[in-house]
Amino acid sequence: MIYSAVRMKDENEKNIDLEVKFTVDDVRRVSDLEDKDEDPIIILERLSKGFWFRMGYAGHANDKGYIKSRFCRPYKFMVQCVVHSLSQRKGAYDKTSDYIMNIIACLVLNRPYNISQVIFNHMVDNIKGEKYIKYPRFIQMLLDDQVPNLPKDPKDELKLNHMGSETLKRLDKYKGLKPDHEPRVKGMIGKIKKKDYVAPENDQWRHVDSNS
């Protein structure tokens, strides 16, 4: 559990500190995630990498964090969406973290994954000495849930820029690559192709009879 406090004014305009407490369950409930405590937060590296190459990744197997621009456009767009919505970063969105790779693999393969616990773990890491706040939008949602009337200074509010035409134009480009050298187009697979898709057994990234 994370304990903290927010400073407010009481009815007499005096400063008071109001205690707030966050748990994994709070992250799960407020963010409307449907994972469970027993769901894993780590999957096998061979499963994650096998799946990413099945998606048509055009980089190296030993890359430290996979590069978004090594995918064809549909998967490049999907990685962009997941990184922006679930990453703890404030920038450098082209490179993905291990847990983002795990999340995408589990989403497409219809496997369980405890995203709430991963978010909470990064919040705890932040308390241990990071210089900037991770997941500020999730923290604001948690504060609004526990302190509905918390006053906000407009200068301190985080402005979210929604994905627009300029973002899509950047995603459409592959800098330094000729068209015939771009990552080959890969068809949709798994859950994004078939709603009732069942995850492969034994930590595999495809079914035995798959032609993918």
Q: What is the pLDDT of residues 78-136, one digit of tens each?
A: 998 888 888 776 666 677 888 888 999 999 999 999 999 999 998 888 777 655 556 67
Q: Are 5 and 20 in contact (CB under 8 A)?
A: yes
- For residue 196, is it within any domain? no
Per-residue confidence (pLDDT) for residue 126, from 0 to 100: 77
CA distance 212 to 208: 10
- For residue 69, is it within any domain? yes
Q: How many CB atoms lie within 10 A of CB 169?
A: 9
Q: Map residue 195 onto helix, strand or coil.
A: coil
Q: Map residue 71 onto helix, strand or coil.
A: coil
- For residue 96, is it within any domain? yes
- For residue 46, is it within any domain? yes
- For residue 84, is it within any domain? yes
| Structural domain count, the chain | 1
- For residue 87, is it within any domain? yes
Residue type, 165: S
- Bridge partner residues of 21 (DSSP): 3
Sequence-separated (6 or more) residues with CB below 8 Å from residue 42: 102
Residue 77 class from Cβ within 10 Å (0-12 exposed, 13-18 middle, 19+ buried)?
middle
| pTM (two decimals) | 0.84
Pair of tokens at residue 136: 């500020």
Give the chain's residues under pLDDT 50. none
- For residue 6, is it within any domain? no
Per-residue confidence (pLDDT) for residue 61, from 0 to 100: 78
> Of all helices (H) and strands (E), which one includes residue 124?
helix 115-127
Per-residue confidence (pLDDT) for residue 86, from 0 to 100: 83
- For residue 121, is it within any domain? no
- Give me the residue label for tokens 């082209």: 94
Per-residue confidence (pLDDT) for residue 89, from 0 to 100: 65
The counts of H helices and E strands in the chain are 7, 2
pLDDT averaged over the chain?
86
- Phi and psi angles of residue 161, each rounded to the nearest 5 degrees, phi first: -95, 115
CA distance 24 to 37: 8
Q: In terms of residue numbers, what domain contains 93?
A: 42-113
